[in-house]
A and B are shown apart, each in its own frame.
Chain A
Amino acid sequence: MDQALSQLCETVRAASASRTALRIRAGGTKDFYGNTPQGTLLDPRSAAGIVDYEPTELVVTARAGTPLAELEQLLAENGQMLAFEPPHFGAGATIGGCIAGGLAGPRRVSFGPTYGGVRDFVLGAKLINGHGELLSFGGTVMKNVAGYDVARLLAGSMGILGVIVEVSIKVLPRPLSHHTLRFELSEAAAIDRLNEWAGRPLPLSASTWHEGTLYLRLAGASAAVSAARHQLGGDHIDNAEADAFWNSIREQTHPFFAGELPLWRVSVPPTAAPLSIDAPLLIEWNGSLRWLRTDLSAQQVRECAKRAGGHATLFRGGDRSAGVFTPLSPALATIHQRLKAQFDPAGIFNRGRLYADL
């Protein structure tokens, strides 16, 4: 173990012994996300840098404190990418925070063969648990069923199980060609159309609907992209303009995301009908992600999401007293509590960030 890691283990052991809550924070770009963090700051960025990258293996291993931008730059130089297109939300974003937050960007669609969410690309991880032990889960190979898949469990864990210090991620070749189309469609028609397209072998790689316009990104082999383009119709958007648009969705710099109204992230099955809440709306992921700007109560938004077969997270702003994430069923809450107690017996890591009692 090198110095940076042993130092972090030491810090954790001391905090455990004194039951000092630790707030794990790297670039702080996702401070707004999750319940209000508490505790003494622990900056994991002392563990940074690419550990191993072999493009032919489609895997990169990096210390958690590695800047996301640096990692993506390296992949791009080799014609590869993080397929889940994670948002950075600021210059300081690190790969560790990206995994712990578990947020994917436009390319995470619920269809399309090789795409998926953050957890779908996590192959391995190193974690410091509440005992200050350095644990290593998964590995760097594509298929691995030795032991439980704790590495994937860490994606979206909001740091409550320990300090993620290293991750191995599956990467993918960048598509050879991409193309963005625009359609004028109502919300219901857009949802309908997206689901119909998703059932066909088309190279869909992102979709956004907002105020009567549907944007659709195709990506893949040039033959597939141009064939799909001709089949689907719509207006072509110039590539530079399209890249800027998708980046504004990914980084939430699109005007829809501006202003003070609370931002809700409502996850539903892709085929769910338009929600019954009348509020500014932006739809992503083939209909399965619906962003709402509303100051309705958490209960009202959650009930609406539940009726649609999904759940709602208060993403930014608003009254966070009801907890930003949808509460768990009692059976799952029990398993969460037991897992937390096993990984972090002193309850020091990111207390309350995911749920108040964890």
Chain B
Amino acid sequence: MDTSRQRGLVAALRTFLPEQAVLYREEDTRPYECDGLTLFRQLPMVVALPETEDQVRRILQLCHERQVPVVPRGAGTGLSGSALPHHAGLLLSLAKFNRILSIDPRARTATVQPGVRNLAISEAAARHRLYYAPDPSSQIACTIGGNVAENSGGVHCLKYGLTVHNVLRVRGLTMEGEPIELGGLAPDAPGLDLLALVIGSEGMLAVVTEVTVRLVPVAQTARCIMASFADVGEAGDAVAALIANGIMPAGLEMLDQAASRLVEPFANAGYDLDAAAVLLCESDGTPEEVAEEIERMSAVLRAARATRIQVSNSESERLRFWAGRKNAFPAAGRASPAYYCMDGTIPRRRLGEVLRAIQALEPKYGLRCPNVFHAGDGNLHPLILFDDADPDSVARAEAFGAEILELCVQMGGTVTGEHGVGVEKLDQMCSQFDRPTLDTFLAVKNAFDPAGLLNPGKVVPTLHRCAEYGRMRVQGGKLSFPDLPRF
């Protein structure tokens, strides 16, 4: 680390930030060395914790002037290393931007600072019988700024849309410290839809300082069906059959047998442990609407060879059905020293095929891989269980993950449905996109941040990196090159 550069930056920051808002000693910056993807770690040169937009603007201007890379960070729950610090950069924590600025029940909007937790918005809106629909499993912890950056999804997104469908307006600053407003409360903001670009841009186009989200009315009631299947393929076909019958469940999630067995001791959800797959299928709306829909759903599931169907008869039973799904990650954390969560999306009709292919890979890598995921959207979350204290196990987990992602691309899908590319999936971006398309992503980055200082090196692989990756794949898989530098 260039300590004189570090000292100079700290001194300059302290001219407008309080002392405790600028961290640089290793023991203070250590907590920021990784996000939720702990396989990648890097200490930043400096951490700044501003609390006003003006402070953020000055930080950006200063860093722009000194050519210091800036990595924004919310709660650090991201799962692709997109908030991984830059060794010579400033880690910009938005954690102190945690105020809900206004809730307008009449217009059904909430305007919040970026560090507000996802769930806090729904909690604050609850007294108006409104809520913010996208509900990532991490919603107690993750921030709306992080959600905007990742275009996060959740169980409700099948019916209610992703972050991009529920954010109306974003205020932010470019790397040059220039304020911008994207979208708006009035529909169809003039010009190109830059809001659509910034959502899901992993903090590389602008630092988000304020977000207005759409709130939707809380459904009067919800009921959940828990259906068992003797075969993962049949469960996959049942998902397709529901959609084919014009049904749009409020949630449609799947746990394979390994996942049910993993979570059941932890959550006591009552999952059928003999079933090859369990589907959770929810209906919400008015009581009449839900009764009608549950009937239709049950009929389709039965026709799709469900071996057992249970319908929740009370709110507590419904929550119990979901308890296992919601606790899958903690359960994986308890069952194994570490787990690696993948995030590919595939066409729904390939679900069975892909799940079986993943099962078949388990012996190849000597690792277990339960699956619990957003089946309705075809968004897989294979959880590779491994031992992070054993370098060989780590390498096998990474290689297993990479193979799963390649499989998703081959199936006509994508390497990431909601967790982002970050630093984790740079290689697989080379498989999914051709060079001119990747260059266009770089061009977009360039239009917002010509100096290339905002969260550099994420999402878009360089030409050189893709060439290396291509060569490795030709030579027979990356396991043979475990010591090749990754980034």
Contacts and interface: CB of A to CB of B under 8 A. Distances in A.
A129 B220 CA distance: 48
Interface stretch (A36-44, A87-95, A238-246, A266-274): A266-274
A55 B241 CA distance: 10
A146 B425 contact: yes
Contact of B286 (A196, A223, A272): A223
A111 B217 CA distance: 9
A356 interface: no
Contact of A173 (B248, B346, B379): B248
Contacts of A328: 190-191
A271 B179 CA distance: 26
Contact of B248 (A114, A140, A289, A311): A114
Contacts of B433: 136, 146-147
A325 B128 CA distance: 36
Given A111-B216, A117-B188, A343-B443, A54 B153 contact: no
Contacts of B414: 139, 141, 143-146
B53 to A, nearest CB: 14
A143 B246 contact: no
B217 A200 contact: yes
B339 interface: no
B200 A325 contact: no
Contact of A335 (B345, B429, B447): B447
A110 B419 contact: no
Query: Which residue, of B180, B429, B440, B447, has the highest number of chain A Cβ atoms within 10 A?
Result: B440
Contact of B187 (A108, A145, A325): A108
B348 to A, nearest CB: 6
Given A113-B161, A114-B160, A285 B193 contact: no
A220 interface: yes
A149 B200 contact: yes
Contact of A145 (B151, B174, B243): B151
Contacts of B369: none
B240 interface: yes
B198 to A, nearest CB: 9
B460 interface: yes
A199 B196 contact: no
A149 B199 contact: yes
B304 to A, nearest CB: 12
A227 B200 contact: no
Contacts of B133: 113
Contact of B345 (A114, A134, A142, A155): A142
B196 A149 contact: yes
B234 interface: no
Interface string B416-459: 11111100010001001110111011011111101000000001
Interface string B98-113: 0000001111100000
Interface string B215-240: 01111100000000000000000001
Given A135-B440, A141-B414, A335-B194, A220 B189 contact: no
Contacts of B417: 141-145
B377 interface: yes
Contacts of B463: none
Given A195-B106, A227-B286, A271-B104, A153 B413 contact: no
A92 B289 CA distance: 39
Contacts of A355: 191
Contacts of A221: 285, 289, 292-293
B267 to A, nearest CB: 25
Interface in A122-146: 129, 131, 133-137, 139-146
Contacts of B145: none
B247 interface: yes
Chain A at the B interface: SS class: loop
A276 interface: no
A342 interface: yes
A262 interface: no
Interface in B296-341: none
- Measured as residues with beta carbon below 8 angstroms from the partner, the interface class of chain B is 35 or more
B194 A155 contact: no
B201 interface: yes
A153 B196 contact: yes
Size class of A's contact patch? Answer: 35 or more
Contacts of B187: 108, 110, 117, 267, 285, 288-289
A355 B133 CA distance: 35
Interface in B254-312: 285-286, 288-289, 291-293
Nearest to A112: B216
A201 B105 contact: no
B247 A173 contact: yes
Contacts of A160: 192
A276 to B, nearest CB: 16
Interface string A53-96: 01111100000000000000000000110000000000000000
B342 to A, nearest CB: 13
Contacts of B240: 56-57
Nearest to B443: A342
A310 B190 CA distance: 10
B192 A156 contact: yes
Most buried by A among B106, B214, B433: B106
B244 interface: yes
A339 to B, nearest CB: 4
A317 interface: no
B345 A144 contact: yes
B349 interface: yes
Interface in A270-311: 270-272, 285, 288-289, 305, 309-311
Contact of A174 (B246, B293, B450): B246
Contacts of B190: 311, 313, 325-328
Interface in B112-154: 128-130, 133, 150-151, 153
A336 B191 contact: yes
Nearest to B199: A149
A356 B468 CA distance: 44
B180 A335 contact: yes
A147 B459 contact: yes
A135 B379 CA distance: 24
Contact of A157 (B192, B421, B437): B192
24 contacts: A57-B243, A113-B216, A117-B188, A129-B436, A139-B412, A139-B413, A140-B412, A142-B377, A145-B421, A146-B433, A147-B421, A148-B197, A148-B445, A149-B199, A152-B196, A153-B196, A160-B192, A227-B289, A271-B106, A272-B186, A310-B185, A331-B178, A335-B194, A339-B447
The 8 closest A-B pairs by CB, nearest first: A173-B246, A310-B186, A342-B443, A223-B288, A143-B417, A152-B196, A338-B447, A269-B185
Given A141-B413, A201-B218, 15 more contacts: A57-B243, A58-B243, A80-B246, A110-B187, A113-B161, A143-B162, A145-B416, A149-B197, A150-B440, A271-B106, A289-B187, A311-B184, A329-B181, A332-B180, A339-B192
Interface of A: 54-58, 79-80, 102, 108, 110-111, 113-114, 116-117, 119-120, 129, 131, 133-137, 139-150, 152-153, 155-157, 160-161, 172-174, 176, 195-196, 198-202, 220-224, 226-227, 267-272, 285, 288-289, 305, 309-311, 313, 325-329, 331-332, 335-336, 338-339, 341-343, 354-355
